[in-house]
Amino acid sequence: MCLVICFLGNGCTQSKKLESLKQQKKILSHTLDSLSHLLVKTEEELKNTPVVSKATVEAGDGLFQVLVRMGIPELERRQVVLALQDSVEFSGMRVGQEFYVAQNPSAPTGKQVKAFRYASNPATIHLLFRDDQTGVFSYKLVNKPLTRRHSVFHGNLEAGSSLNKMLFQVGIPGRMVGVVSGVLQCKVAFRQAQPGDRFRILLEETFYQDSIWISGKVLYAEFEGRTLGHHEAFRYDDGDPKSSYNAHYTENGEALIFDGLRYPLDRLHITSTFGNRIHPVTGQRRAHQGVDYGSPRGTPVYAVADGVVVTSGYDQYSGNKIAIRHRDNSTSWYLHLDSRGVSNGTRVSARQMIGKVGNTGRSTGPHLHFGFTNAQGKWINPLSKTMIATPKLQGERLTKLQKQVQEIRSHLQLAEAEAPQLANDSMEVKVKMRYIAP
């Protein structure tokens, strides 16, 4: 009996213990379940957390090398380049510039670019964001506020001194000397200049955070020569920074350059320059015998000079193409056209519309491939030729220029009224400068 009771009693305790253990196990396993569920979820989230990486442009880098270093696969390289190429000119890429990419490491393709960032200068940021639903990139441009500075420089030519040396001496910043001398030499034959001839320059420069130089242009250049006479040049702004009409003109709208080629397009957005290049997407190396201008399909294409059409045809690589031979036996080439407006043997004049921008032949998007061969048939860099939009501004553009001439004259007057101050750290030159709030 006792045994039984004992047994029962013992058994009762044992079974109760077992029951409670079972219960505990159940709770534990539930907890474990929910914990591991949590764990899985966190891992999942972890997998979806974009990883940000950075690449800095090194000497000899093209866009391809940078994108590869960031671990962006080919398909995505194509998407990134396509999404940016209408807004960014990668030919202006410089050593030290930084690229950032945010990638989703668990995407089916291995990696997926969620966001992309490129600063073409410290104040101009290009951003791409991928829409999670559509997978399409949207582009955003961030322009940080800039300060503008107008500076006026006076100089007199001295015997035995070069123009560039003179420009340095009067305090023109080194980064602008080439531009200033280019503008002056368009108008003045300096071989005939004489000691005592004077010049005056008004520069407009923009800065980020007051000290980081972003851009500069010559708003005004004046030359007064004993035998060369009085000349003035004004910088015309057509309203679009890529307009081929942005250039220097006299007050009457005459271009400073008379014998240049005419631009083949009204708007110049270079997507690829002349020479050896590595394709940004495929990485293939090839010689590029011309310059590519990105442009919407249907945009008018103009003859760059008078001449005779020597090719008007189609092939699978060039698509619709036109070639024009000019007086000096050089030839200009226009490829991938949507349509051709002139046939073989036609005589064309400079700036005559000859066709429209297209995407025919081996081409990844609408653009004009513009090539140039010299009289010996050798490909040369078209950008080494002097090109202008027009020898004389007319109509609305002339009216706009004349309004800008008045503005420039008043900027000049206001800058002249400033007290001279030290122009830079290294030289004891005082310059009249005027800061303009953003």
Measured CA distances, 286 to 241, 270, 275, 289, 290 (Å): 30, 18, 8, 9, 12
Q: Least distance (Å) from Zn ion to the CB of residue 369?
A: 3
> Whose Cβ is closer to Zn ion: residue 321's or residue 369's?
369
205 binds Zn ion per the rule CB under 5 A: no
Stretch that binds Zn ion, among 3-11, 97-105, 221-229, 284-292 (CB under 5 A): 284-292
372 binds Zn ion per the rule CB under 5 A: no
End-to-end CA distance of the chain: 103
Q: Least distance (Å) from Zn ion to the CB of residue 365?
A: 11
77 binds Zn ion per the rule CB under 5 A: no
> Whose Cβ is closer to Zn ion: residue 134's or residue 284's?
284
Written as six digits, the tokens of 431 are 């310059």
Residue with nearest beta carbon to Zn ion: 369
SS3 14: helix
DSSP secondary-structure letter at 419? P
What is the C-alpha separation between 123 and 435, in angstroms, rounded? 18
What is the C-alpha separation between 7 and 14, in angstroms, rounded? 10
Stretch that binds Zn ion, among 100-108, 133-141, 291-299, 412-420 (CB under 5 A): 291-299
238 binds Zn ion per the rule CB under 5 A: no
Written as six digits, the tokens of 126 are 């290009």
Q: Which of 369, 397, 411, 432 binds Zn ion (CB under 5 A)?
A: 369
237 binds Zn ion per the rule CB under 5 A: no
Q: Least distance (Å) from Zn ion to the CB of residue 291?
A: 7
292 binds Zn ion per the rule CB under 5 A: yes
| C-alpha neighbours within 13 Å on the C-beta side of residue 15 | 6
Q: Least distance (Å) from Zn ion to the CB of residue 336?
A: 8
Stretch that binds Zn ion, among 66-74, 169-177, 285-293, 354-362 (CB under 5 A): 285-293
277 binds Zn ion per the rule CB under 5 A: no
336 binds Zn ion per the rule CB under 5 A: no
Written as six digits, the tokens of 437 are 């709030």
Residues with Cβ within 8 Å of 202's Cβ and at least 6 positions away in sequence, in order, are 150, 151, 152, 218, 219, 220, 221, 408, 411, 412, 415
DSSP secondary-structure letter at 192? G
Q: Least distance (Å) from Zn ion to the CB of residue 307?
A: 21
366 binds Zn ion per the rule CB under 5 A: no
Q: Least distance (Å) from Zn ion to the CB of residue 370?
A: 8
> Whose Cβ is closer to Zn ion: residue 236's or residue 334's?
334
Written as six digits, the tokens of 330 are 């050089």
Stretch that binds Zn ion, among 102-110, 165-173, 237-245, 288-296 (CB under 5 A): 288-296
> Whose Cβ is closer to Zn ion: residue 105's or residue 283's?
283
Structure-token match 């955003």, residue found: 140
Taking phi over 0 as left and psi of -120 to 50 as alpha, with beta for the rest, 395 belongs to left
Structure-token match 């007086």, residue found: 327
Q: Are 270 and 407 in contact (CB under 8 A)?
A: no
Q: How many residues bind Zn ion (CB under 5 A)?
A: 2
432 binds Zn ion per the rule CB under 5 A: no
Stretch that binds Zn ion, among 129-137, 162-170, 180-188, 286-294 (CB under 5 A): 286-294
Stretch that binds Zn ion, among 160-168, 289-297, 318-326, 428-436 (CB under 5 A): 289-297
Q: Are 33 and 39 in contact (CB under 8 A)?
A: no
Q: Which of residues 162-181 bind Zn ion (CB under 5 A)?
A: none
Q: Are 118 and 92 in contact (CB under 8 A)?
A: no
150 binds Zn ion per the rule CB under 5 A: no
Which residues contact Zn ion by CB under 5 A? 292, 369
